[in-house]
Structures are given as C-alpha cells and as structure tokens.
A and B are shown apart, each in its own frame.
Chain A
Amino acid sequence: MEPINIVNSVITPLDRKNVDTDQIISKEFLKRIERTGFGRFLFYHWRFDEQGNENPDFVLNKPEYKGSQILVAQDNFGCGSSREHAPWAILDYGFRVVIAPSFADIFHNNCFKNGILPIKLTEAECDEILAKGLQGPYDVEVNLEAQTVTGTDGKVYSFNIDPYYKQMLLNGWDEISLTFQYEDQINAFEEKRIVFK
C-alpha cells in the first residue's frame, strides 16, 4: 500500500454523526470482485438523485471541496458492516485522511490496511474544524510523523495513534509479509493448540 506522511488539502466537512458503511458504499456496488473503481459510488445516494444527477447541496458536490484529500465528520464514523469496500471507495475517490471524534472498530482497522489515516480529535476540535470548513474552504496540513493537523490559520491540533499502525502507514508495509516472520511461532502454537476431534 501507498505510504502516507504529509497531506496538504482543503478539508471536506461532512457534518454528520454515525455515518454508516451503507451510506459510504451502498450494497448494490458490493457485487464487484475488484478492489478498485469504487470511488464513483462513494456516498452514492447522498451524492446523486434518483435520476443520477448530482445533488448540489451535498458537500462532495460543492466546487470548493473538489480535489480534497481530507474528510472530516462527527462521531462514530464508519459504523455498520465490515465491508472494506467503504475504505476502498474513500481512497479511490481521493481521500487519504478521515478525521472524526470516533470511528467504528472494523472500519478503523480497515483504514490502516489501505493506507488511509484515521485521525481521532476531540468532539470540540472536530466541531471547530467542521465550522471553519463550512464557512469557506479550510486548508490544513496533516503530518503523521509529528501527529499534528495544522490549519492555514496557524491552529495546531495534535492526535494520538497506535505506534504499530503509525509505522505501518508511514512505511506502507504489507502486513502479511511481516507476519510471515513469525512462522516459527505460528507452527509452535499449532503444535499445542487445544483441538477436540
């Protein structure tokens, strides 16, 4: 996967709580057997009306946020199903960073496997960034190494991240290759595993 460290971009303010994976990528798009090409289906039923026309009120369709690589939302982003099509769609659309006060567990995990940086800031900080982004284009620099989000207004927001996943993202490591280094331990575990035939 693509390593990630510094991302400079206008933020896309998605001012909603509990954005579920059914909204991120609707079920009719889950039948494809590829990993790529899901970006055009991202938030499909919010982005397009029943005739397939763009809904001008939806934030992704506003010209000032086009090309944004940073999505900001409210609490419990990515709740619902385990579908990795959700982060695939987010990445394929062009986002590399999602900022929210909290994430659903499986979605959060899936981000790390795809080179997407999920950043947890406090609810107050997210509210502040959302408010700035909604007033007009708000550009920030995300720096994973330094664990900061810095606005063009000079405001610095710091975040925590698990050091293991930080290294994975910075280096773009393939986790399976890493795990193969522990093959001896896996073999040993299998020897003593409790199994009732």
Chain B
Amino acid sequence: MAKNIIEKIWDSHVVYEETGKPDLLYIDLHLIHEVTSPQAFEGLRLAGRKVRRPDLCFATMDHNVPTKNLPTINDPIAKKQIMTLAENAKEFGIQLADIGHPDQGIVHVIGPELGLTQPGKTIVCGDSHTSTHGAFGALAFGIGTSEVEHVLSTQTLWQTKPPTMEIRVNGKLGVGVSAKDIILAIIAKWGIGIGTGHIVEYTGEAIRNLSMEERMTICNMSIEAGAKAGLISPDQTTVEFLRGRRFAPSEGNFEQAAQYWLSLASDADCSYDVVLEIDADEIEPIVTWGTNPSMGTGVSKTVPTSNDYESESDKAALQKALAYMGLEEGQPISSIDIQHVFIGSCTNSRLSDLRTAASIVKGKTIAPGVKGIVVPGSWSTKKAAEEEGLDQIFLDAGFEWRESGCSACLGMNEDIIPSGERCASTSNRNFEGRQGAGARTHLVSPAMAAAAAIEGHFVDVRKYVTQEV
C-alpha cells in the first residue's frame, strides 16, 4: 500500500502496539539543552535510574548563554542552570558541546551541521522547535521535561499516531521572497491552530526548490501552525547536505544510507488526512503586526481593521493585539518604525541567512536610532561567516556581531528588547513579552530585517534585490 513518509517512519519505529494504547515508539536521537533537562536528570537520580542510551543523546547550552563577554555569565541562576547541564552530561556520560566548544550552538542549528540529523530518524528534544529537523525527512518533535526523562530512561515514548496533513506549495517563489515568507504566509492564511494534532508534510515545486537551510526555516515554524511535527521528503539536496558531515554515515556506508533515505520519500500515490494548497507566486514578503504568528500580512498591505473580522472574539483579539503592539487599524505596514533588529534564532541564523542579510546591508549603515544585533546560530556558523567577511559587513553597517545562542528570540539572557520598543526579528514567536516585558516583536525574513535596519521602518526588500543582484 502506498505510504507517505510520516507513515513510513512511524511504522518502522513501533516497539510495541496494543489496541487502546498509544504506540511505544523508539527514539533515534535525543537532543538536550539546559532549560528543559535539569528536572529530568534529577528525576533519574531520585529513582536511581540510568540513561539507557547515552550514545543517542547530544547536549549543548543555548537558551541562557550570553552572546557577549563570554565566558562570564552574570546571571547566577542562569549560570547554575548551565553548570547543571555540564554536571549532568558528565555524570550520565552524554556528549556535550559546552560553552567555548567549537560544536556549541543552538541545538536545532548544530544537529544538522554535525550530521546528527538524518532522514528517517525519530528525533526529540525538550523544545518545540525540534520540528526543524523535519527538513531532512526525520520525524522530529518537541517534548516536555517528563518525556525527556522518559526518553533518557527508556529511549522510547508512548505516542498516539496523529493524522497527517499535506501542505503543498505550488509554483515558483518570487525574487526577494524567502522560505520565511512561505511559512508566515501559510500561518497567516490558515491560522495558528491549523496543524494542531497533525504531522505536516510540505510538498510542491516551491519546497523542492529550497536549500536545506531554507527547508529548516519552514519546518522550524510548523509548531507555530500548531503541528506536532513538519517534514519534507528527502531528495538529492538532502543527501548532498549530509555527505561528509562528522556524524553522517561514513564514506563506505554513505551510498547505502542515501539509498535508504531516498526510499523514505512519500510514495507518488500516497494519501493524507488533510490537504492544503497555496501558490508560491501569491506570496509576498510578510511582516507580522500582532501578538501571534498568524497575525501577519504582506509588506505592501495595511494593518487589518475590525471590518476584516466577523466574530466578536476575533474583533476583540485584534483590539488586544493592536493595543499591545501600539498600532492603529488600517495603518500601512511600511509606516511602522522600528528601534531594534534581531538577526538570529533557530529559524534564521544559518550561514545562508547571514549571507542574505549581509548582501542587503553591504556598504550601507543602519538608520539612526536603530540597534541591530546579529547572533549566528552556532560557533561553526560564526566562524564560517567570519571567513567570508560577513562579520565586517555587519560591523561596518553598525550592527553588533555576537556569539551564538538563542539570544533575543526569547530573551532568557541579557538580550532583551525594552518595553514599548519595536523589533524587526527573524525569530519565530511574537507573543506578548516574548522578547522582553512590553517588547513589540515583528517577525520577518532576514532580508526584510536587514532592509528595515537600513531604513528604520519596514520596506519591501524586493526593491533592494531587483536593484542590486
């Protein structure tokens, strides 16, 4: 029977099944960071349990780490949490990319960089953006700390097989329109609950044409559509990305692995429980104006008005969001001034993101009154960017060039946007207070963030791209 990739991976990982129970699924890779793991390790200790497969775990620090003046950590509570991970990794024999280690970085950036992330794997992490790894055709999803403890103890999870959803992105993407705009457009079109309870496969010409880094941006924000996981069938682009990476199969086994990976792609005549379609050529660069990721619109458009909504609760949600964001109904997106630009996060901090942003700011300076920071997703991304001279382009334009970490995406470290100020951010969430109490977040692509930095307000980046490429 024809199967989609979700069914193929699921079926090949069932350890035990019984009617009336969820399936017991085997987990191939467990990524660990400092915020959601301490209570899990403590639980193991209290129960006298071991980590079943330390060789299938990989840990790093990312959420709390400062992005400047390392190795000093000023916040004593953050420092304790970071040190706790180091101690736990040592005690339980788990590989750790500690602060200062060349493999350190945002967990969802380093997994793929190191070749730990591979097609067909089941991958979990105590972080909702674990869906990022789905870009490789892996079944990757975020879990809570109790489940972290469960995976550490048993290398399995009880999971009820969710229904599947295909989101097909037809046609070709316009110049200056990015993967970030695709996923923001999907969420704006169908809402933040559209994927709830489902695993999504992204398909279609526009998806096939994306690089691995762009695919990661799409899958990363699956959770912002509510989906348990989002993935893309592996193809030659996937295979070539993984070739030669440290934890990828060795040269002698690589071709056999690649053949297996390609066999996981959804069968041509497979089916899904839900199918949605969107045309890539309809998508323009998106800016979010509200307090959840579905509250976004094209840069050429205006902030919605009450008339755009039918239900009283939606009208009320609009008013609440606009009050928090300090915006007026019907205000043009291009009239929104910004004070901060954040280029980083597990959504958009990879080398190609930095290259794109650098190409926009090259030879220009950021607008007066705007502060910009660039936070590469990993040490190795930072190093690669520096080898290309990207750091100098950003510094010359007036940006700060930082060490890697989650940084201002969630502001657990010192990288916080002040109350009432506005940030053009390449991150994934614009919830109230996400980047700091009272901070106003506008989600955009790296190119759009860079252009906003130069002009001090949102601007259609396509005008830069058509002029200069």
Which A positions have Cβ atoms within 8 angstroms of B?
17-18, 20, 22-23, 26-28, 30-35, 45, 50, 74-76, 79-84, 87, 102, 104-106, 109-110, 113-114, 162-164, 175-176, 179-180, 182, 185-186, 189-190, 193-194, 196-197
Of the residues A31, A82, A162, A197, contact of B126 by C-beta under 8 Å: A82
B395 interfacial by beta-carbon distance below 8 Å: no
Q: Knowing A82-B36, A196-B249, say if A110 contacts B146 (CB, 8 Å).
A: yes
Closest Cβ neighbor of A187 among chain B residues: B15
For A182, list chain B residues within 8 Å (CB): 15-16, 24, 156
Question: Are the C-beta atoms of A194 and B226 separated by less than 8 Å?
Answer: no
The 4 A-B pairs at the shortest CB distance, nearest first, are namely A113-B146, A84-B144, A196-B249, A33-B38
Closest Cβ neighbor of A107 among chain B residues: B144
Question: Are the C-beta atoms of B64 and A31 separated by less than 8 Å?
Answer: yes
Show 23 residue pairs from A and B whose CB-CB distance is below 8 angstroms, ordered by the A residue.
Answer: A18-B292, A20-B431, A23-B432, A31-B78, A33-B38, A33-B39, A33-B80, A33-B81, A34-B39, A80-B431, A83-B35, A83-B144, A164-B20, A175-B150, A176-B154, A179-B156, A185-B15, A186-B26, A190-B26, A193-B28, A194-B12, A196-B253, A197-B249
Contact with A along B139-181 (1 / 0, CB 8 A): 0011111110110011110101010000000000000000000
Question: Are the C-beta atoms of A105 and B145 separated by less than 8 Å?
Answer: no
For A17, list chain B residues within 8 Å (CB): 313, 317
B400 interfacial by beta-carbon distance below 8 Å: no
Question: Are the C-beta atoms of A179 and B433 separated by less than 8 Å?
Answer: no
Closest beta carbon of chain B to A122's beta carbon, Å: 15
Of the residues A34, A35, A114, A197, contact of B250 by C-beta under 8 Å: A197
Of the residues A22, A30, A179, A189, contact of B434 by C-beta under 8 Å: A22
Question: Are the C-beta atoms of A22 and B36 separated by less than 8 Å?
Answer: no
Question: Are the C-beta atoms of B193 and A75 separated by less than 8 Å?
Answer: yes
For B16, list chain A residues within 8 Å (CB): 182, 185
Question: Are the C-beta atoms of A186 and B15 separated by less than 8 Å?
Answer: yes
For A20, list chain B residues within 8 Å (CB): 292, 429, 431
Contact with A along B307-349 (1 / 0, CB 8 A): 0000001000100000000000000000000000000000000
